Amino acid sequence: MRIWLEISNSPHINLFAGIIGELARSHEIVVTARPLANTLQLLELHGIRHTVVGSHYGGRLAKAWGYPVRVWQLRDFLRDKAIDVALSQSSFHSPVVARLLGVRSIYMNDNEHALGNVPAFVAASMILVPECLTEANLRRQFASRRKLRRYPGVKEGIYLHRLEPRLRANGHRKLRPSIYVRPEPRTAQYYNGSVNFLDELLIGLAREAQVTLLPRDRVQVEHYGQPRFEGIRVVAGALDIGEIAPDCDLFIGAGGTMTREMAVLGVPTISVYQEKLLDVDRYLMAREAFVHRPALTAAEALRHLERAHRRPPNRELLEKGRLACELIKSELLHA
């Protein structure tokens, strides 16, 4: 079988890396990607062979113009590849391209606020979503019940169940605690929140802790490279979760995936997301996996750090992730 995987953003690499490795033993895998955030660097880091097709379009008008352009670019690239099935997470292009090629497609998504779900849901052969996504949100974006399948847990469990043994805390004594911070997804279609709202928080934290900032793009690298952020480590390249989780004493996330990763792994986690929370976030908060403090101050974060302790990874969510992984492979190969 020839399987096409479209990688549209950096978080999807961890999601699919293990699945790609398993399927590649018996099937041919074609991977396409677009140059967004750390996507290409992480693909290289994981040794995943891929082809870059098209570009990432930043602003909303540019996205609207660029959407059909990249759909056609992907169609042209794949038209002679004899693809049997397409799989993607949050790639609004993939199901549409698959429909144009007459190919079966499985579309995964866990963000009910993404407008790109509408064409993807309509075009997809099968829609895979977490068990906690509400029926009303799915209906609002034209997800057909006939196509819908729900997987247990959250998408982060699908790959963390494989990685968890190497992501445990290193136990080394530190002079100062380690705080990792992920800024807001400023170019995302679904994000209308504040930009650079973490500045004062970061400066305050840097006085008491070793702060590592994980920027999403070159603009954020340049912003946090200013002299006033001296003492804050800004990671300009890709940093694998295996390097972050064992060292992290507190994680502060203004986005989604990385925040949920740390929460599932038991790392004390605070979400400062400025938009309406997703169903998957509320699902994890109900399990006390993390807290949401959109107006977080440095003093509050440091108090949380003093009180919070790293917990063992959430075994329930990791086991659900293992079951979800098996479901994906089953639907992919045996439909």
Tell me what pLDDT residue 173 has.
65
Tell me what pLDDT residue 52 has.
96
168-312 is classed CATH 3.40.50.2000: yes
Each residue's pLDDT tens digit in the chain (335 positions)?
999 999 988 889 999 999 999 999 999 999 999 987 788 988 998 899 999 998 766 666 667 778 999 999 999 999 999 999 999 999 999 999 999 999 999 999 999 999 999 999 999 999 999 999 999 999 999 999 999 999 999 999 999 999 877 776 666 667 899 999 999 998 887 888 899 999 999 999 999 999 999 999 899 999 999 999 999 999 988 788 888 999 999 999 999 999 999 999 999 999 999 999 999 999 999 999 999 999 999 999 999 999 998 999 999 999 999 999 999 999 999 85
Tell me what pLDDT residue 61 has.
67
The DSSP string of 291-330 is EE-TT--HHHHHHHHHH-------HHHHHHHHHHHHHHHH
First-residue to last-residue Cα distance in the chain: 12
What is the Cβ-side half-sphere exposure of residue 49, based on CA atoms within 13 angstroms?
A: 6
Domains 2-162+319-334 and 168-312 alike in fold: yes
Q: How far apart are CA 335 and CA 66, in angstroms?
A: 32
Q: How far apart are CA 283 and CA 285, in angstroms?
A: 6
**Which tokens hold the place of 82?**
């004899």
CATH topology of domain 2-162+319-334: Rossmann fold (3.40.50)
Domain locations along the chain: 2-162+319-334, 168-312
